[in-house]
Structure 1
């Protein structure tokens, strides 16, 4: 339902009264169908991901910010401010897009727009904030030759062009210097709106400027600083955001005359995570803050929608639909946009104390008669899709994971395509700017692969409909006695530690698996946090955790241990890694635990991620711990080798297939197109004992490739994830794995939960020996 109305500016010359709206909960519609699809069974499927550096050089910073598409719908053109140019991607075959060239420009391009016969590139050439400058470069979209350029007389930001290509509008921001004074406004020179009549020959093109100073009711009328511009569907009006002034201006598209302007209003939220504290809790609140909208889109000829990113004094973690004539709020997302980040595990906790998910980009387009709004989260790395057939009640239909910083949102409804471009690029963090192509087609999308159900009110500050919060999963275990459930645990990204229950049944229907419950861990009656890297559920209801330690100055490690937890989540025992073994490790220790048997009769196996300094080169350890005796034995595991600089190979999970066979994840440290090794190996356990000390010679175990997981990771057509970290065999006999999304920090944030197939087939098990640890399987011969 619509939120309470904001008092707004109805006409020029009247002061705007800013009303604070308290938004305690979501005003959005219910969750989508499994997998995120429309009622007609269609959804946006990710087809391909192209790194921006494919048009420049892998060794240089290259980003993809704002994009456009040529008139034939076959070439995407995007701005690359880092490389000072525009890139081209051929999407004639959208499943196999190809880098198609790069054109340098004299500065940082801020926006681009393709018409039938021209390509307008808006470029910031400023050398200082006090002396801003910029140009529009006109290119031939076919030959890419420069036809001419116009001096804009200031620093530009966004550009839009009327449907018939007759007139262009450019938001001339003349942006503020955040280091000057308190970083706020006013800062001269003032920004304005530039207009260009495109019906003239290129040689005759001229720039007109619309003065926006003196608007009543905005914070700094002498410095409007416009941000984003969009033309109405009927072509009669232009909507313009004044982000730092928290206002929207509506102008006549023919004359440039201001028709009206209004405050975007202020919102206070309850039931959000508002504190950067290493936890995800929906019991916080934000004080009333101005929306400070960035991008704006027309929902129809009567309504505009804004992405309320915020700037130096605001941001409300959502998006809003306004009546364009009055400025009244038709609908506001409240906490619902932020809830999506929690539900799909992509909440940027490191931004909780600031502006959270920071919705920045927004676009609206009609596909097969249905208008959709696409809203991008700059910090959460996703685009949320809504059916906006009724502007007063948008219906969330799908979450589309992106790479880092999805700024450009380009609908191409004539081809049922959607292109998302991402502005963040860091080779050091293995995070690169990309262009991703999606298509609206039959069936549920393959991504996301995991989401959460609603939390109990007691776990969400009493708010009904709030999701179970989760992120950074790195450990899996079967749930003894069930077919389709597995347990999952996050690493030290979240504290206190918790164990989630995941229902995998919905994956068989094409939807994501679902987190249905959580158990918070405690020690001595207080919540406790561990760096949980491995998890094994005993049939007696208890859990064993593999906890990774930390490097000690001068060498060695501390904190690597096995932790025993009862069915209520209380710690009952901690078993430290033997001192001699710990002395040879650095910051990478335990990465998994598994077992067979139960209670005091249980035998555990723990994997060490990388080789110890005291062991043979390229050989890491697998430890066997007998619960009844407290005795450790050690085996060697020979790792694959790598010749890639800065890369390493290590183990990241272990699970028991039976008493004679283990399965481990072995992976490299690379992601995206560079990833080479993400695999499951079967490991034979010898009948003889292992080494009893760190100095004894390690018996090296035989191994055999069981599953190459890279094809399945790449088959999702996204940015191939680095951290394949969880593995287990569920009661239904299927092998499941999960990737650790690093809490969305310095990573794309997408979690991939995969059904790798039948364990019987993967490990060549006999029909009469099905079951598995915790499922009643007895001893058998190894897989060879």
Structure 2
């Protein structure tokens, strides 16, 4: 018995020794931070209008890469080792690649740029550069007007939302599309459009999806805006801003699997009150017989309990071309007397007269008299179930109210889209999930605790530069300060501001 037991004990010993000698897994990096205490620690001005639209951070080099379409189209490179003392150390010219650079994304020592063609209706490019020596890695052709770019979390894919805007006469209107680039496969690209859903046009439009360009061409009329990707890098969601929808994409299959119409917001119910006049010199929210069209710009995903929650900044956007102008003020249209018995009063400047509405909705019978009014955007951020497209939360009129309380409300925008939520991002700060909502017309960022994504709660409002476009979280584990950082870049003044929270 002992003869057999000794070898067995020896094997157990060997197994135990091997197990114990293995390196222990690295503990998760954690800093206990209070997300209600973000404060500015650094600022840099890199130009004027068109500068500092979007930023991307590379932790390997501690560099911040910044879209700058000010005087020339370029990517500025900012030394970010000390966020309180940022300096521009280099730049990458976009002249060899086309026109303006619209978006940036960083992964594993490489920065990918979405670049529109000089002729905006022609195919754009993605250019990939090393973050250390800025040398070119690869140039890939994508769809027309790539407006946003992102790496998948695992770095295996690069996706671009190709807006495909028409020229001003609508004689050249490229298809809106999404390009899916396989990094490991020598950056091979597949560009997909929405033609597979053309047969669903009537059903989608009945649920609030918008097809209204010249010719009402389904494929050409869809305009992808912004992308977010699941943590497992398998699924992407893309906002279709002008169309008032979100598309869902199977990345590996390189196919669009769903389009979610977003419907409309009712400004005539409690909590959704708006101020529709820019001529009353005050913030006077009230209920009005008007619908808002969500039309989200930026989108972010937070996965919890098996559900992907999609956070959208409901900016709104109009089509203003020589061949198509969709917006008019209420006082410049005819209201249906049955639907609006007090039409004469409503059309006054003190009530709805100044409000900009779309003329593509509301006149169902085509008699020139509007039975319903639809304004652009929703003056809010929303949360949607990414599996079903169902709305689970909307901030109602809280952004307006918080901005007004802080003394930042611009009544000159009441008639249009108010504070215009444009940028949004979600990340972990301390032990809480937090959303940051950039508002273009309030020059501010709202901070929300979204630990329960169905019940976001307001934490604070941060003043920033003029017209914030990019809202970027740098996690503490990647940060040069080893604390979480919020980077806000503003397109109207070229100002980048950096904020950090207090530790607990």
TM-score normalised by length of structure 1: 0.47
Paired residue for 2:273, among 255, 271, 274? 271
Q: Give 1:76's aligned residue.
A: 64
CA distance in structure 2 between the aligned counterparts of 1:337 and 1:42, rounded to whole angstroms: 16
Establish whether residue 235 from structure 1 lines up as the match of residue 233 from structure 2. yes
2:377 pairs with 302, 315, 318, which one?
315
C-alpha deviations, 1:351-409, integer Å up to 9, x for none? 11011000011111112231111111011100101111101100111111111010000
Return the match for 2:310 from 299, 304, 309.
Answer: 304
Q: In the alignment, does 2:420 pair up with 1:395?
A: no
SS at 2:43 equivalent:
strand
CA deviation profile, 1:87-108 (whole Å, cap 9, x unmatched) = 1221211222222222110310
Query: Structure 2: any 5+ residue segments left out of the alignment?
Result: 1-31, 212-217, 319-357, 359-375
| 1:442 Cα deviation after fit | 3.8
Larger Rg: 1
- From 243, 246, 254, give the equivalent of 1:245: 243
Displacement after TM superposition at 1:61 (Å): 5.3
Check the 8 A contact 1:191/1:224 in 2, yes or no: yes
Which of 206, 211, 214 does residue 188 from structure 2 map onto? 206
User: Are 1:139 and 2:121 matched, yes or no?
Assistant: no
CA distance in 2, matches of 1:151, 1:281: 47
CA distance in 2, matches of 1:232, 1:161: 11
- 1:164 deviation in Å? 2.0
- State how far apart, in whole Å, the 2-side matches of 1:351 and 1:289 are: 15
The partner residue of 1:116 within 108, 119, 124 is 108
2:61, 2:131 within 8 Å by CA — same for their partners in 1?
no
Aligned mates of 2:406, 2:301 — CA distance in 1? 28
Which structure would you say has the larger RCO, counting Cα contacts within 8 Å and 6 or more residues apart?
2
CA contact (8 A) 2:230 2:301 kept: yes
Task: Give CA-to-partner distance per residue, 1:615-656, whole Å, 9 cap, x none.
Answer: xxxxxxxxxxxxxxxxxxxxxxxxxxxxxxxxxxxxxxxxxx
Q: Specify whether residues 76 and 41 from structure 1 end up closer, same or farther in structure 2 by C-alpha distance, changes over 3 A only.
A: closer
- Residue deviations 1:224-247 (CA, integer Å, cap 9, x gap): 111111111232210101101100
> How far off its partner does 1:211 sit?
2.0
Matches within 5 A, 1:39-50: 40=34, 43-50=37-44
CA distance in 2, matches of 1:433, 1:281: 29
The yes-or-no answer on 1:150 pairing with 2:148 is: no
Match of 1:423 in 2: 491
Deviation string for 1:508-555 (max 9, x for gaps)? xxxxxxxxxxxxxxxxxxxxxxxxxxxxxxxxxxxxxxxxxxxxxxxx
CA distance in 2, matches of 1:39, 1:412: 14
Counterpart of 1:421 in 2: which secondary structure? strand
1:439-483 Cα distance to aligned partner (Å, 9 max, x none): 12248xxxxxxxxxxxxxxxxxxxxxxxxxxxxxxxxxxxxxxxx
The answer to whether the 8 Å contact 1:110/1:123 transfers is: yes
Question: Equivalent residue of 1:95, what SS?
Answer: helix
Task: Say whether 1:92 aligns with 2:81.
Answer: yes
Give the 3-state SS of the residue equivalent to 1:356 in structure 2: coil
Cα 1:40–1:358 shift into 2, 3 Å? closer
Alpha-carbon distance in 2 for matches of 1:340, 1:233: 32
| Residue number among 116, 124, 127 corresponding to 2:119 in the alignment | 127
In 1, Cα distance between equivalents of 2:143 and 2:250: 22
CA contact (8 A) 1:42 1:442 kept: no
Deviation digits for residues 242-291 of structure 1, max 9, x if unmatched? 10110001111211222322112211225322101151132444511211
Q: Residue 191 in 1 paired to residue 183 in 2?
A: no
Distance 1:283 1:164 in 2: 45
Any idea what SS the aligned residue of 2:412 has?
Answer: helix
Contact 1:363–1:373 (CA under 8 A) maintained in structure 2? yes
Partners of 1:91 and 1:278 in 2: CA distance: 45
- SS of residue matched to 1:66: strand
Residue 475 of structure 2 aligns with which residue?
A: 413
Quote the residue 1:692 is aligned against: none
Q: Is the 8 A contact 1:123 1:156 kept in 2?
A: yes
Match of 1:336 in 2: 398
Shift of 1:39: 9.6
CA distance in structure 1 between the aligned counterparts of 2:35 and 2:377, rounded to whole angstroms: 35
Cα distance in structure 2, aligned partners of 1:389 and 1:153: 37
Q: Please tell me whether the aligned partners of residues 52 and 62 of structure 1 are also in contact (alpha carbons under 8 angstroms).
A: no
- Report the secondary structure of 2:254's partner residue: coil
* Alignment partner, residue 367 of structure 2: none
CA RMSD of aligned residues (A): 2.1
Do the aligned partners of residues 205 and 41 (structure 1) sit closer, same or farther apart at CA in structure 2, a change above 3 Å counting? closer
Q: What is the CA–CA distance in structure 1 between the aligned matches of 2:404 and 2:100, rounded to whole Å? A: 35
Q: Structure 1 CA distance, aligned partners of 2:50 and 2:379?
A: 28
Distance of 1:41 and 1:294 partners within structure 2: 24
Checking the alignment, whether the CA contact within 8 Å between 1:299 and 1:388 is kept in structure 2 is no
What is the CA–CA distance in structure 2 between the aligned matches of 1:214 and 1:180, rounded to whole Å?
27
Shift of 1:40: 4.9
- Judged with a 3 Å threshold, the aligned counterparts in structure 2 of structure 1 residues 401 and 148 are, in CA distance, closer, same or farther, namely same
Shift of 1:214: 4.5
Off by >6 Å, runs of 4+ in structure 1 = none
SS in 1 for 2:90: strand
Does the aligned pair in 1 maintain the 2:144–2:175 contact within 8 Å?
A: no
Is the 2:180–2:251 contact (alpha carbons within 8 Å) kept by the matching residues of 1?
no
Q: How many residues align?
A: 383
Alignment of 1:452-531 (within 5 A): none
Take 1:285 and 1:214, find their aligned partners in 2: how far apart are those partners?
A: 40
Residue in structure 2 matched with residue 219 of structure 1 by the alignment: 210
Q: For 1:324 and 1:244, locate their aligned partners in 2 and report how far apart those are by CA, in whole Å.
A: 19
- The yes-or-no answer on 1:292 pairing with 2:283 is no
Question: 150-159 or 404-413: which moved more?
Answer: 150-159
Per the alignment, do residues 100 and 285 of structure 1 end up closer, same or farther by CA in structure 2, a change over 3 Å counting? farther
Residue 126 (structure 1) shift: 3.5
What's the CA shift for 1:219?
2.5
Q: Work out the CA distance in 2 between the residues paired with 1:176 and 1:339.
A: 36
Question: Measured at CA, do residues 355 and 315 of structure 1 come closer, stay the same or move farther in structure 2, by a change above 3 Å?
Answer: same
